[in-house]
C-alpha cells in the first residue's frame, strides 16, 4: 500500500491488516509501529468522513486526561485525495468479538456503568456540539446529497423513504444534555480482563441528549446478544425515571442519516 512518508516512517508495512468489524465509512487497518506498538490506521477519500476524522482528532485531544480511556493521535496526514489518521490502540477487543464470552447480564452492567461514567463528564467547557439543532441540519444535508442508504435502515424502518423518515424527526424533543460518544455500539466498546477499557471512533461525539447513546447501545445489545434487560440497564446506569421509549426510537431514526 502506498502511504505518505509521515505514516511510512512510523510503521511496519508488513504488519498491515485490514479490520472489517463495524460500519466505518473509512478503511481501517491494524498496523504495528517500528518498535512493536499497535496502531490503527484510518484511510478515507470521502469529504464528509474527512471532516469527521479531523473532528475526532480534536475530540481525542480534549478528552486526554479525563476519566474515559481513548486512543491518542499519532499522525494526521492529507494528500490530494485521501486523509490518513494513525492512532494508538486501546488494549482489548471490541465487545462484539466472539471471544468476549460475557453473560448477557454482565455485559449489560458493564456497558451501562461505563456509559454512566461517560455521561458524567463536565460539559461546561466542551466545544463539541451535537445537539438536535446541529444533527438535524447534518441529517438534512446528507439527505439532500443522497448519502442516506435506505437499504441499510433498521428493520422497523424498512420500506420507508429517507424523506419520509426525516419528516418524523421534526417532533419536539426536550433534550437532557450530557457528553455523548455518538455511536455507543458494541464494535466501538473495547473489553479486556472483565472490564471495558475504553472506546474508539469518536467522530460523532459531543454534547447531545443522553438517549443518543442509550438508544444505540440497547439496539446494539439486541443485535449482538439478546433482547436487552432494560430494568437492569436502568439500575446499572442509574436512570430513576424509567426508560423513555419515544426518545429511544427517535435517536435510532436519527442514526439512519449517518
* Catalytically annotated residues: 183
Q: Please list the residues that pair with 209 across neighbouring strands.
A: 177
Angle at 214 between CA 206 and CA 121, to 5 degrees: 40
E-strand ranges in 9-127 read: 11-19, 27-33, 38-44, 73-78, 83-88, 93-94
Q: HSE-up of 73 (CA within 13 Å, CB side)?
A: 19
Furthest CA-CA distance within the chain: 54
Measured between alpha carbons, how far is residue 239 from residues 1, 49, 242 in Å?
Answer: 48, 33, 6
Task: Put the strands of the sheet holding 93-94 in their side by side order.
Answer: 93-94, 189-192, 195-199
C-alpha cell at 24: 466505518
Q: What is the pairing mode between strands 177-180 and 27-33? A: unpaired
Question: For residues 105 and 225, is the Cβ–Cβ distance under 8 A?
Answer: no
DSSP 129: B
Q: Please state, in angstroms and rounded to a whole number, the distance separating the CA atoms of residues 57 and 50.
A: 11
DSSP-derived 3-state class of residue 161 = coil
Amino acid at each position: 500500500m502506498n502511504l505518505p512518508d509521515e505514516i511510512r516512517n512510523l510503521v511496519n508495512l508488513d504488519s498491515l491488516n485490514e479490520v472489517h468489524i463495524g460500519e466505518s465509512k473509512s478503511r481501517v487497518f491494524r498496523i504495528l509501529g517500528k518498535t512493536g506498538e499497535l496502531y490503527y490506521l484510518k484511510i478515507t477519500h470521502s469529504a464528509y468522513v474527512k471532516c469527521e476524522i479531523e473532528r475526532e482528532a480534536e475530540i481525542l485531544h480534549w478528552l486526554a486526561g479525563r476519566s474515559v480511556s481513548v486512543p491518542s493521535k499519532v499522525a494526521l496526514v492529507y494528500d490530494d485525495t485521501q486523509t490518513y489518521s494513525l492512532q494508538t490502540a486501546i488494549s482489548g477487543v471490541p465487545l462484539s468479538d466472539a471471544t468476549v464470552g460475557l453473560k448477557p447480564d454482565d455485559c449489560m452492567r458493564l456497558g451501562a456503568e461505563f456509559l454512566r461514567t461517560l455521561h458524567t463528564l463536565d460539559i461546561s467547557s466542551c466545544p463539541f456540539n451535537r445537539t438536535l439543532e446541529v444533527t438535524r441540519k447534518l441529517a438534512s444535508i446528507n439527505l439532500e446529497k443522497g448519502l442516506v442508504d435506505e437499504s441499510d435502515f433498521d428493520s422497523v424502518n424498512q420500506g420507508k423513504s429517507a424523506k419520509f423518515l426525516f419528516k418524523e424527526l421534526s417532533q419536539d424533543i426536550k433534550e437532557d444534555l450530557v457528553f455523548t460518544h455518538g455511536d455507543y455500539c458494541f464494535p466501538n466498546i473495547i473489553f479486556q480482563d472483565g472490564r471495558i477499557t475504553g472506546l474508539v471512533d469518536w467522530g460523532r461525539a459531543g454534547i447531545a441528549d443522553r438517549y443518543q447513546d442509550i438508544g444505540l447501545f440497547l439496539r446494539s445489545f439486541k443485535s449482538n446478544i439478546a433482547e436487552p434487560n432494560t430494568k437492569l440497564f436502568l439500575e446499572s446506569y442509574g436512570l430513576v425515571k424509567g426508560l423513555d421509549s419515544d426518545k429511544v426510537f427517535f435517536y435510532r431514526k436519527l442514526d439512519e442519516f449517518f
